[in-house]
Amino acid sequence: MAVWTDMGKPRGGFAVCGRPVLAVAVLALLALASLLVGSSGIGLRALLDDPRSVELLWVSRMPRTIALILAGTASAITGLIMQRLVQNRFVEPSTMGTVDSACLGLLLGVIFIPDASPLARMALAALFSWLGTLLFLLILRTMPRRSALMPPLLGIAYGGVIGALSYLIAWQTGLIQALAAWTTADFSVVLAGRYELLYLAAAATALAWFGADRFTLAGLGDDVARSVGLNPRMVLALGVSIVAITAGSIVVTVGFIPFLGLIVPNLVSRRVGDNLRNALPMVAWLGASVTLVCDLLGRLVFYPYELPIGATMGVLGAAVFLFLLLRRDGT
Amino acid sequence: MRQILSALCFFLGTTALHAQTVTVDTARGPVEVESGPQRVVTLDLGVLDTIKVIGGDVVGVPNGVKPDYLSEYAGTPYTEVGTFFEPDIETIAALDPDLIIVAGRSQAKYDELSGLAPTIDLTTDTTDFVGSIHRNTETIGAIYGREEVARTALKELDAKVTAMHDMAAEAGTALTILTTGGRMSTHGAKGRFSVLYGDFGFEPAIAEVDSGNHGQPISNEFIRSTDPDWIFVIDRDAAIGRDGQPAAQLLDNPLVNDTKAAKAGHIVYLDPIDWYVVGASITPVENSVATISGALAK
């Protein structure tokens, strides 16, 4: 606990982790704030003054709030799963080529099957992120593990190569701005009927919740996994599939949210250690809360215009990530 | 002796013709260029359209999507000389141009291209769209020695824009929306699509937008609370030949459908190639005037 006494700001909101009632209250408060903030006015009065406010609530504010909670939770938990599978604290879907592969799939979908339904485009994005992630894990297996920084660095380089390929294709087909839109998360166009794919991400995340212990065991090595009766390949395939479906559905609906899968599990493990069963609810809670806060900030900074959450999360996430790197007590 | 004399005359004649220069107005101030260029290269479709309107010739044109009215420039005898942003220096050098015209997206390459051949910059001022068209058309008219054609074309354009302005002044407020990759942004009265307000005369639905080139991101809720009388949509993805997620589909939702514009059928989809790709020149602006006047007259 001593480590945490001098942590400064993050601790304030963080201390609630151990108290479920308080945690739920904070999340409920943030969700309420998300329902009350929008470009047609801020606060309960603005909603009551507007005669069409009930429609606004159901069509726009509620879906946006649900989408934020679903995407935030799913991103944070898939980050945690990947960290356990690879046994490395610094990997997450964006530092192992998963997100870049999803964007490549989406891009090729737009070019070759422009009239595809959102579900078909998601499937393509998920397929690509599945293949991309698997390829990364295969490459990683051939590498000697000398440093904890090696997998994320390799992953960033690998993602960079896939990203460069996407960029080249986008550049030649004039889709640079569309590519930029998918890689920058933005909840401003979320409406009823346009975010429901995220429930698929939520379902995949729920599956991950139940399989969480196996991912830790599989991450400890094939021998450990076999010794407790697990098929390491099956577990790996399951984990990668969950991450791919989650990344695909998030990229298709709102775009990739940077840093979330990286900082949330790390902050939580600093607090409660590496026990997955303890960590999961907190990772889910913190993922949703941080996402809500960043989107609220984005809605308020240039009110009534919007700053995409990709930008607010990028700034906040980079700061927290640097903090985590510098405070890593030699582990 | 006669032969020598006539050869000398011919030589003097041609040098005199070559030496003839005109001073024209450009985005970088007045410059002196030789008139009657034979081998012109441009990286901008607005410039290409202007050259076509005044009846000039080019040898090098930009790559990529071209609108119907410029379709004759796709393929031989014209050479593609690079994208709007990135000129293909070797191809341009091989064409041995006597004039290169950059504008807008290619203006950053001005210095690089100046090393190859005389280069002028006809970048338009988004806050004075029709004024920029005047300058560019007059400049190109003067370079090709076709001032009269340029003047007539501009007079016709002005008459159409004035008629449009009279109609729009009564039409109420307007909001412009640029869509790309399923996201929306808006540009204010001084932004990239200022011509709708300044020259065409619509009243901006929102006060100043500090927008930059790709505008300020907005939500459907923003569109509903702004509640404009008219909505003008430019589908960027369609501008470059993609219509996977058409803007109409994006905007067909309960919040946008609740605006005055949607209820009155006043959502106008502007030709994305005219607006986004070609930009400031006579043909796309006349097309837009026709589209918008048609919508206003309904």
pLDDT single digits (tens) B8-63? 555 554 444 555 889 999 999 999 999 999 999 999 999 999 999 999 999 999 98
Q: Hey, are the CB atoms on B180 and A178 less than 8 Å from each other?
A: yes
CB A255 within 8 A of CB A285: no
Confidence category of residue B230, pLDDT binned at 50, 70, 90: very high
- Nearest Cβ partner for B181 among A39, A181, A193: A181
The answer to whether position B128 is within a domain reads no
B32: which strand partners?
B23
User: How many Cα atoms within 13 Å fall on the side-chain side of residue A123?
Assistant: 6
In chain B, the number of structural domains is: 2
How far is residue A295's CA from residue A293's CA, in Å, rounded to a whole number?
6
CB B125 within 8 A of CB B131: yes
CATH superfamily, with its number, for domain A52-140+150-325: ABC transporter involved in vitamin B12 uptake, BtuC (1.10.3470.10)
User: Of B144, B44, B40, B140, nearest to B100 (Cα)?
Assistant: B40
User: Of B183, B170, B203, nearest to B251 (Cα)?
Assistant: B183
Residue A145, classed as helix, strand or coil, is coil
How far is residue B106's CA from residue B248's CA, in Å, rounded to a whole number?
31
Q: Hey, are the CB atoms on B220 and A191 less than 8 Å from each other?
A: yes
In this complex, how many residue pairs, one in chain A and one in chain B, have their CB atoms less than 8 Å apart?
A: 99
Residue B63 Cα, gap to closest chain A Cα (Å): 10
Tokens of A46: 């603005």
User: Of B214, B193, B217, nearest to B204 (Cα)?
Assistant: B193
In B, what residues contact A, Cβ < 8 A? 64-65, 180-184, 186, 209, 214, 216-222, 224-225, 236-237, 239-245, 250, 253-255, 258
Q: Hey, are the CB atoms on B258 and A55 less than 8 Å from each other?
A: yes
Residue B216: its pLDDT value, please?
83
Out of B123, B155, B185, a domain closes at: B123
The answer to whether position B216 is within a domain reads yes
Residue B214: its pLDDT value, please?
63
Mutation to test the B interface, candidates A108, A305, A307, most B Cβ within 10 Å: A305
User: Of B167, B236, B165, B232, nearest to B205 (Cα)?
Assistant: B232
Mean pLDDT of chain A: 84
Tokens of B283: 């043909």
The answer to whether position B137 is within a domain reads no
Mean pLDDT of chain B: 87
Residue A72: its pLDDT value, please?
95
How far is residue A250's CA from residue A94's CA, in Å, rounded to a whole number?
12
Confidence category of residue A166, pLDDT binned at 50, 70, 90: very high
Shortest CA distance from B188: residue in chain A: A305
**Is pTM, for the whole model, over 0.90?**
no
Residue B18: its pLDDT value, please?
52
Which is more confident, B138 or A229? Answer: B138
Residue A13: its pLDDT value, please?
43
Q: Is A39 on the interface with B (CB under 8 A)?
A: yes
H-run or E-run covering A19: none
How many H helices and E strands in chain B?
A: 12, 13
How far is residue A204's CA from residue A189's CA, in Å, rounded to a whole number?
24
CB A247 within 8 A of CB A93: yes
Confidence category of residue A169, pLDDT binned at 50, 70, 90: very high
- pLDDT at A10 exceeding the cut of 50: no
Residues B285 and B174 in one domain: yes
Tokens of A86: 């690879």
Residue A304: its pLDDT value, please?
80
Largest pairwise CA distance in chain B: 88
Confidence category of residue A16, pLDDT binned at 50, 70, 90: low
Among the residue ranges A172-181, A294-303, A306-315, B121-130, the one predicted with the least confidence is: A172-181
Confidence category of residue B292, pLDDT binned at 50, 70, 90: very high
Which is more confident, A175 or A130? Answer: A130
CA distances from B67 to A12, A218, A267, B280 (A): 59, 57, 54, 14
Domain boundaries, chain A: 52-140+150-325
Q: Is A295 on the interface with B (CB under 8 A)?
A: no
Q: Average the pLDDT over A16-42 and give the result.
A: 83
B121 in the Ramachandran plot: left (φ > 0), alpha (ψ -120 to 50) or beta? beta
Tokens of A97: 């080529």
Q: Average the pLDDT over A142-166 and give the result.
A: 87
pLDDT digits (tens, 9 = 90+) for B65-106: 789 999 999 888 999 999 888 899 999 999 999 999 999 999
Confidence category of residue B146, pLDDT binned at 50, 70, 90: very high
User: Of B245, B264, B49, B58, nearest to B174 (Cα)?
Assistant: B264
- pLDDT at B182 exceeding the cut of 50: yes
B267: which strand partners?
B231
Residues B116 and B199 in one domain: no
How far is residue A254's CA from residue A166's CA, in Å, rounded to a whole number?
19
Q: Hey, are the CB atoms on B218 and A306 less than 8 Å from each other?
A: yes
pLDDT digits (tens, 9 = 90+) for A41-59: 777 776 777 777 788 888 8
Judged on CB neighbours under 10 Å (0-12, 13-18, 19+), A43 is exposed
How far is residue B248's CA from residue B216's CA, in Å, rounded to a whole number?
20
The answer to whether position B282 is within a domain reads yes
Q: Average the pLDDT over B250-254 and give the result.
A: 89
Confidence category of residue A66, pLDDT binned at 50, 70, 90: very high
C-alpha torsion angle, residues A167, A172, A174, A175 (rounded to 10): -30
How far is residue B37's CA from residue B144's CA, in Å, rounded to a whole number?
7
Confidence category of residue A6, pLDDT binned at 50, 70, 90: very low
The interface pTM score, or ipTM, of the predicted complex is: 0.78
Residues B176 and B281 in one domain: yes
Residues of chain B contacting residue A308, judged by C-beta atoms under 8 Å apart: 217
Residue A30: its pLDDT value, please?
93
Q: Hey, are the CB atoms on A174 and B240 less than 8 Å from each other?
A: yes
Residue A43 Cα, gap to closest chain B Cα (Å): 15
Q: Hey, are the CB atoms on A115 and B182 less than 8 Å from each other?
A: no
Mutation to test the B interface, candidates A39, A252, A303, most B Cβ within 10 Å: A39
- pLDDT at B261 exceeding the cut of 70: yes
Tokens of A18: 């151990």
Q: Hey, are the CB atoms on B65 and A174 less than 8 Å from each other?
A: yes
User: Of A326, A325, A329, nearest to A89 (Cα)?
Assistant: A325
Out of B123, B152, B179, a domain closes at: B123
* Cβ neighbours around B98 below 10 Å, total: 17
CATH number of the domain residue B229 falls in? 3.40.50.1980
H-run or E-run covering B175: strand B173-180
Q: Average the pLDDT over B247-266 and give the result.
A: 90
User: Beta A37-38 vs A41-42: how paired, if at all?
Assistant: antiparallel
How far is residue A291's CA from residue A185's CA, in Å, rounded to a whole number?
11
* CA B225, B228, B229, B232 torsion-angle sign: negative
Domain ranges, residue B267: 169-292
Q: Is A181 on the interface with B (CB under 8 A)?
A: yes
